[in-house]
A = this chain, B = another copy of it.
Amino acid sequence: MESLRAEAREAPESGIVEVMTYGWGRPGLIPLWAGEGDLPTPEFIRDAASRSLADGETFYTSQRGIPELREALADYHTRLYGRPFQPERFFVTGSGMQAIQIAVDSVAGAGDEVLVPSPAWPNIVAALGVSGARPVELPMSLGNDGWVLDLEKLKAAITPKTRAIFVNSPSNPTGWVAGREVLAEILDLARKEGLWIISDEVYSRFYFGDAPRAPSFYDVAEDDDRILYVNTFSKNWAMTGWRVGWISAAPELGQVIENLIQYSTSGVAVFMQRAAVAALNDGEAFVAEQVARARSGRDLICSALERTGRTRFAWPAGAFYLFFAVDGEPDTSKLGLRLVDEANIGLAPGTAFGAGGEGYMRLCFARGADGLQTATQRLVTWLQTSCA
């Protein structure tokens, strides 16, 4: 073991996995710890993959993605952002995670620093560590108006080694959504300092404001700004298990991104890509259904917890997680295990999400009302009866 590379040895076990392992297989446990809903992928998407398999589409394919999928991605973005996108800026990856890995490998390595507002999805910081780059976490704080990113603190954290800022809005785990002005300010800072932005807008459709998507760097940036957008089919179309994502970037970066795909997994199966095309072209009704479910889930759990008077949180403006603190329970790693034992529900401890996450729990509300109502009732009862 000691002969392994230090960065590999030191890559942390996911703090979410720890409680999942603890609670695995408990009868009746309601799992709200992962970033995954309870619906399988819609049938029309699965069928598209099966048809392609039946047609024998099992050979190597283009590293950047099949033309049909890059076209469908361009059309999808054109519809969603109200301005034209070209297929040449889309690169199909083997998961949103791989999109992050490739974005990181594109801009940072040993000796470099990347700024990450936190709490953040643990895999971001971990992927930076594996790459050899140093993640610099910038803890956000929960004030009366919700979670706040301190732009002065962001600016002050920039050093000559800083190469990029990683922005995840809507945020997993806090539900924070950066407004258009905040995005413009971050972009302005990145432009002035010559930094890259890696923009993780995976949850953009899960937005509880009055629009079909959250504000985006696409609203404020030029096509040739130094932004690598990372995204996935996992959440919008309930395709978590598939491992298909995409990068959107200036087409000039195409050869570099293609090479990094080539030397990591060498492309994505054609039959997976056919399913992704179906999701983009025919999946809007399903996305709407999922977002409506998430909104109901959010309202249910937030209202119920508010009434207990024992929790502290901001109503999430996006994504599908509630990130909340429990009065008198600062050690949420232990709390996660206790809630498995004492309430038969599975939540993820905030410590897994890095600096600023201590004292919080993450609950995924991308679920049908039945399971979520039971889970909420269990949590409320526990809050009302457990001693601080």
List residues of chain A with CB under 8 Å of any chain B CB: 1, 3-5, 7-9, 11-14, 17, 34, 36, 40-41, 46, 49-50, 53-54, 56-61, 94-95, 97-98, 101, 105-112, 123, 126-127, 130, 132, 163, 194, 196, 226, 238-243, 252-253, 255-256, 258-260, 262-272
Please tell me which one of the listed residues B40, B54, B263, B266 contacts residue A11 in the complex, with CB atoms under 8 A apart. B263
Closest beta carbon of chain B to A352's beta carbon, Å: 12
Contact residues in B for A269 (Cβ distance below 8 Å): 241-243, 272
Question: How many of these chains are in the complex?
Answer: 2
Nearest chain B residue, comparing its CB with the CB of A53? B46
A-B contacts, 6 of them at CB < 8 A, read: A5-B107, A40-B59, A46-B54, A58-B241, A94-B94, A97-B262
Q: Give A20 to B72 CA distance when docked, in angstroms.
A: 25
Contact residues in B for A57 (Cβ distance below 8 Å): 40, 241
Instruction: State whether A196 and B265 are in contact (beta carbons under 8 Å apart), knowing that A11-B256, A241-B59 are contacts in the complex.
Output: no
Contact A5 B109, beta carbon cutoff 8 Å: yes
Contact residues in B for A238 (Cβ distance below 8 Å): 58
Contact A5 B108, beta carbon cutoff 8 Å: yes
Contact B263 A123, beta carbon cutoff 8 Å: yes
Closest beta carbon of chain B to A44's beta carbon, Å: 12
Q: Give A269 to B244 CA distance when docked, in angstroms.
A: 10
Contact residues in B for A265 (Cβ distance below 8 Å): 94-95, 97-98, 101, 243, 265
Contact A60 B241, beta carbon cutoff 8 Å: yes
